[in-house]
A and B are shown apart, each in its own frame.
Chain A
C-alpha cells in the first residue's frame, strides 16, 4: 500500500480512469479469384484464424414453396465434395480439428471456420471444396432430409420454440419472415436433390460473395491459399430484393393461446412488424430497445423479474434484416402470473410511447451500447461477425467508428417517438404457450382470443 493510501472510500462509485482508445480492426483487400471480395484484418495475439464466407444464398433466394431449401443446401455442403464422400469429408475436417459451421439466415448463408493457423492452407482447401464442389449425392440428401423432418417434429416438444414460430407466423403469415428458416414439414417434403443442386449452382458464386478473414495470417499467405484453392471459380450472383412485408401483423386475433396442458410456466411473446436495418430511425430504435428490454437493467426485466419475481428473465429485441424483421418481447412466467405479466409488458411498452425516458436511464442505455464496443471486437470471430453485418446490410464504411456519436446524439423525445411509430398498441400481437384452461379467462381482457390445441400433445 502506498503511504498516501488512507483506505478505500466505499461510499461512492470510484472515478473512472482515462480510457485507452479502441483501435477498430482495419481490413485490407486480398486478391482473390472470380471477383470474390476478400478482406483480411491480420492480428497475431493467438495462433488462430476466423474465416467467414458470406454468400447470397439465404432463405430469401428460395423459390416459392421451398422453405428450408437454403438451409438444407448449407447442411449438405459437407456431405461429399469432389472425389470425397461424406465419410471422407468428415475425416478430413476432423483431422484438421477446425470448427466449421454453416449458418443460413433469411438474407445470406455464412460459412464460418475457426482454425489454428498451422492448418490454414488445408482449411481453405476444405472451404473451397464444400463451396465449389459439393456433390449432393441422392443418398446423403435423403438422409439429411429425413433428419431434418425429425428435427422439425422434435421442436414441437420445446414450448419456447413453438412460441417463437407461432409468433412469426402470426405476424408475417405466408411471407418470407413468417416461415422458419429450416422450413416446415410440408415444404421440406417438397424439396428434392435436384432443387438443391440448382440452388447451389445459382447462389454459390464468387462475384457477389464476401470472404472476411481475421487472425494470425499474412496477406501473402492468404492470397496464395485463395489462389490455389479457389482458382477458376467463376459465376456471379445478384442480391434478392428485400421482401415486402405487411405494415401490421397479419393475424386478426389480439391473443393467441396455444394449449400445453400441465405446463408449469407460460412462454409469453408480444410482437409486431419491426424495421429493416439502416433506416433513419435505426439508432433511436437501438436506444429505445435497450431501455425497454435489451439489458438486464431494462424496464421489463426489472419489473417482471426483480420486482415481481414472476420469471427468470424478460427481454426484447428488434431483428434488423434487409426487410422489416420483427420486434419481440420474450419471457417465461409461472402459469398463475400469465395475465398480469402480459399486462405489465403492455404497460411498459405504453410508458415508452407516452413519456420520454429520464436522463439517467437514457445515459445508462447509451453507455451500455457504446462503451461496450471494445468487448465486441475482442476475438477474431467477433470481428469477422460484426464487420460482415456491415457489408451484408450495406451499412456505411464508418458504421462502427461513427456508432458512438450517433447513439449519443439520440434525444429522449426521439426514443418516445420511435416507440409511438412502431409499438402502438393496436399493432401488438400477444401469444402464450401454456395450460390454456388455466389462463383462458385471465387473457380475455386483451381482446379476441384464438385458442389452438397443443402441436404435439394428446
Chain B
C-alpha cells in the first residue's frame, strides 16, 4: 500500500506512465482503500497564453467547457456527475487549466465519456448564447471575488507593478472587465483548436482502478481524438532587471495591508523546495519568524503569511501582512523587512529547521491524503516538471534540505532589487477604528 517513510525517503504512491498514439499522457495510480476514483485532465494552457486585449479568456473558456459538447447537453456535465454521487470542478492558472471529478469507481466510464466529449467534440456544443451567459457569470465572479472584497485588487496590482507591459504574467487570471467583453465565438474556436488537443493534455486516474483495465477504457474513449499542432510555448522574459517596484492603492478597508513579492525560483527549479520550506520558517505557525516578531512581540500585525506560487516560468514568493489599527503600511513593511534581514544574515536553529520540515511534510501528506489531491499533484508534476515521480521524490528532496541551503536561498532571493511592494491603504473617508485597547 502507499506508504511514506516517516523519514521522508522517496517511497510512496505507485503509478504507471503511458502515452496514447494521439499524444495524450496518461498517469494511472491505484489505491483501493475507498471505492472512488479521481479523474483529472490538465491542459498545458493558462492565462499567460492569452493574446493582448483578451485577458481572462483562458478562464472564461474553462467555464464554457462545462456548457455541454456534441453528445452532452448544456448542464449535462454537472448533472451526470452529481447524479453519480461525484464532485467536480475546474480551475485556471497562469500556466495550466484543469478539469476534475471524483466519483464512485463504478462510474469511471461516465467521467471518461464526459472528458473525452469535451476534448474531442466541443465545437458543436458552443453557442453565442452560452458564451454571453458565462461572460456575465465570470464578470460577477470578478465582482464577487475581487472588486467587492477587501484587498481584492492587491494581487493584480502586484503583477502590474512587477512585470513590464505585455509580459505573460502581468495580468490576473480572472482578466479585466473590458477584455471580457471582447471575447467572440471565433476566439473560442481558435483557442480550442490551438490548446485543447490530446497532445497538450495529461489525464490522471487515481484511486480504485485496475491499471490495465483502466488503460483500456482510456484508449476506448480517447484514442480516436486526433492530435493537433501545439503552438510554440510563449516566451517569458525574466523581470529580474527591473529593480525594486512599488505601488500604493486605496480600498474600502480600515487597516493597511502590505504585499511583498520577491522574484523567486519557479516550480521546476532546484531551489523551489528551499523556497517552500522558507515559507514555513517565516510564516507558518505561531513560532515562525514573522508571526513571532510582528504578531506576538511587536504587535504591529494582525496576521502575516508567507507563500510561494508553483508557477512554470517565473517564481513569486509572497509575504503578506495586515496591520493592527494605528500601524502604518510603512512601519509594517519595515518590521517585516527587519525580520527578513535577520534571517538572511543569521542562521537557523536546528529545532526551528526540524519544525519547518515537519510542517512541510505534514502539509504535503494533507495535500496527498485524498485521491483528488493526489491526482492534482500528478497532473502538476507532469505538466510543469515533466516528472510524475516528483509526487514521491518530493519527500526526499525536502528531507535533504539543510538550514544553510534555506538561508542561502533566502539571501539570494529576499533582496530589495527583487522586491515588488504593494501597500493597500484605507480610502479617504473610510472611518478609522480606534485602537482597541
Contacts and interface: CB of A to CB of B under 8 A. Distances in A.
A60 to B, nearest CB: 27
A418 interface: no
B369 A379 contact: yes
Interface residues of A, number: 94
Given A306-B75, A309-B132, A99 B366 contact: yes
A17 B107 contact: yes
Contacts of B79: 297, 364
A116 interface: yes
B254 A116 contact: no
B400 interface: no
A50 to B, nearest CB: 10
A374 B104 contact: yes
Nearest to B5: A47
A46 B286 contact: no
Interface string B219-258: 1110110000000000000000000000000001111000
Given A19-B35, A154-B255, A379-B370, 13 more contacts: A17-B109, A97-B358, A97-B362, A146-B437, A153-B436, A157-B252, A309-B137, A311-B137, A332-B140, A332-B144, A332-B148, A367-B85, A378-B36
B149 interface: yes
A310 B133 CA distance: 9
22 contacts: A10-B116, A15-B109, A19-B106, A20-B104, A20-B106, A47-B4, A48-B365, A78-B286, A114-B366, A142-B437, A146-B436, A153-B433, A157-B150, A157-B254, A158-B150, A264-B143, A302-B75, A310-B136, A367-B82, A367-B84, A371-B86, A378-B371
A99 B362 contact: yes
B362 A116 contact: yes
B224 A8 contact: yes
B287 A90 contact: yes
Nearest to B109: A14
- 5 smallest CB-CB distances across A and B, nearest first, come from A371-B85, A97-B358, A309-B136, A17-B106, A90-B286
Interface in B1-35: 1-4, 6, 31, 33-35
A450 B118 CA distance: 49
A319 interface: no
Interface string B414-437: 000000000000000111010011
Nearest to B223: A1
A421 B355 CA distance: 54
A97 B208 contact: no
A118 B5 CA distance: 10
A306 B141 CA distance: 13
B87 interface: yes
Contacts of B369: 46, 48, 379-380
Given A87-B287, A374-B35, A456-B430, A312 B140 contact: yes
B6 A306 contact: no
Interface in A41-100: 43-48, 78, 86-87, 90-91, 93-99
B216 interface: yes
B341 interface: no
Contact of A149 (B31, B216, B354, B436): B436
A116 B78 CA distance: 36
A115 interface: yes
Interface string A361-386: 00110011011111101111000000
A229 interface: no
A95 B354 contact: yes
B60 to A, nearest CB: 12
B351 interface: yes
B34 A377 contact: yes
Contacts of A160: 149
B117 A10 contact: yes
A7 interface: yes
A153 B85 contact: no
Contacts of B34: 22, 374-375, 377-378
A121 interface: no
Given A93-B285, A364-B79, A264 B147 contact: yes
Contacts of A199: none
B311 interface: no
A371 B104 contact: yes
A406 to B, nearest CB: 16
A98 B366 CA distance: 11
B33 A153 contact: no
Contact of B324 (A1, A117, A150, A157): A150
A228 interface: no
A95 B359 CA distance: 8
Nearest to A382: B370
Contacts of A117: 6
A158 B369 CA distance: 33
Contact of A97 (B150, B288, B355): B355
B21 to A, nearest CB: 11
A265 B84 contact: no
B302 interface: yes
A154 B252 CA distance: 11
A3 interface: no
B299 A297 contact: no
Contacts of A153: 254, 325, 433, 436
Interface in B92-119: 102-110, 112-113, 116-117
A327 to B, nearest CB: 22
Contacts of A8: 113, 116, 220-221, 224
Contact of B143 (A19, A150, A265): A265
B173 to A, nearest CB: 14
Nearest to B428: A458
A3 B327 CA distance: 73
Contacts of A220: none
B2 A45 contact: yes
A22 B431 CA distance: 55
A119 B75 CA distance: 47
Interface string A291-333: 0000111000010011111111000000000000000000011
Interface in B57-84: 70-71, 75, 78-80, 82-84
A5 interface: yes
Contacts of A263: 148
Nearest to A311: B140
Contact of A368 (B31, B83, B288): B83
A297 B82 contact: yes
Nearest to B324: A150
B272 interface: no
B106 to A, nearest CB: 4
A427 to B, nearest CB: 28
B140 A265 contact: yes
Given A116-B361, A375-B102, A47 B3 contact: yes
A11 B286 CA distance: 56
A10 B70 contact: yes
